[in-house]
Structure 1
Amino acid sequence: MAELVIRKMELHDIEQVMEVEVATFTSPWPSSIFYQEIKENEHAHYIVVELDEIIIGYAGIWIVYDDAQITNIAITPKYRGQNFGQKLFQYIMQQAIKMGVARLSLEVRKSNVIAQKMYRKFGLIPGGIRKNYYADDQEDALVMWVNLL
């Protein structure tokens, strides 16, 4: 049986995280951003999900006081639809609650109804629209949020 591990992202994980990033996003972040986030951003927390020691997904969250913002969450296309994203998101929410976060928010493409459906399972609700949010195609983002405490 495959072993699933969810843990803090380390610098040595960035090469595998970039494989997930490139396979997932039309405008992937460069690896330098991940290095900067892990090394220099005191508000950033990044998590990876491994299946048999291979990183198949990751998520990032910024926590400032009692507010948290999901920066990104991604599962390699090959592993989607198997609840790995749901397990990763649940882990992030649990960690945020342990850290005293009162509100969690994120942006999601208006067209990404599968992700929106998953977020709704965790109690997130639409809170607004960010017009032309995505640089690659100017798609609007739906802002979703939830009170955790």
Structure 2
Amino acid sequence: MDIKIIPMDESCLDDVLDISRLSFAIPWTKNSFQNELRNNFATYVVAKVDERVIGYGGMWIIIDEGHITNIAVHPDYRGQGIGNTILNSMINICNEKCVKAMTLEVRISNIAAQNLYKKYGFIKEGVRHKYYEDNKEDAVIMWKRWV
């Protein structure tokens, strides 16, 4: 499978919205993504196969830290390394921008995602209690540091 990682733009939003709806209990709105695309701190990428968006990832980069906002892969493409490819591209972007650390929150029950992040050097450094609005689930705070 030939996966291309490119910057997200408005033309990707319908596919991204579908993936968000299929991936999250409280999906982001079109307006939320449009605001992110106009946000100077935000960097979003999409994974494409044959012009179809099959995954995306986003983060804010503020000074020398990157905060991952979300990574999602269409259910039809999960388990094929797409999340790895997206996360690796985001780490590469951070390296290019001299970012010294990346962070994220992930559901305490989402072991698959936690394992993906661990594979790339993220470690658990805390918990945000009752972080998720839909079910009050805790979030694990993970960090990857280069310093």
Q: Distance in 1 between matches of 2:137 and 2:75?
A: 21
For structure 2, list consecutive stretches of 5 or more residues without a partner in the other structure: none
1:131 alignment partner, one of 129, 132, 136 = 129
Q: Which runs of 4+ in 1 moved over 4 A?
A: none
- The percentage of counterpart residues that share the same residue type is 37
Offset at residue 129 of structure 1 (A) = 0.1
Task: Please state if 1:101 is matched with 2:95.
Answer: no
The Cα offsets for residues 44-75 of structure 1, whole Å up to 9 and x where unpaired, read as 00000011110010000100000110000000
Could you tell me the TM-score, scaled by structure 2's length? 0.97
Amino acid corresponding to residue 64 of structure 1 in structure 2: I
Contact 1:59/1:73 (<8 A) preserved:
yes
Amino acid corresponding to residue 124 of structure 1 in structure 2: F
Alignment-derived partner of residue 5 in structure 1: 4
1:110 alignment partner, one of 108, 111, 114 = 108
Offset at residue 3 of structure 1 (A) = 2.3
The Cα offsets for residues 79-107 of structure 1, whole Å up to 9 and x where unpaired, read as 11101100110110011111010010000
Q: Distance in 2 between matches of 1:51 and 1:135?
A: 33
Secondary structure in 1 matching 2:137: coil
Could you tell me the TM-score, scaled by structure 1's length? 0.96
Alignment-derived partner of residue 15 in structure 2: 16
Contact 1:49/1:55 (<8 A) preserved:
yes
Secondary structure in 1 matching 2:11: helix
Alignment-derived partner of residue 28 in structure 2: 29
Offset at residue 9 of structure 1 (A) = 0.2
Q: Distance in 1 between matches of 2:49 and 2:108?
A: 30
1:75 alignment partner, one of 73, 76, 90 = 73
Secondary structure in 2 matching 1:15: helix
Alignment-derived partner of residue 44 in structure 1: 42
Offset at residue 148 of structure 1 (A) = 2.7
Aligned length: 147
Q: Distance in 1 between matches of 2:128 and 2:96?
A: 29
Contact 1:124/1:144 (<8 A) preserved:
yes
Contact 1:97/1:148 (<8 A) preserved:
no
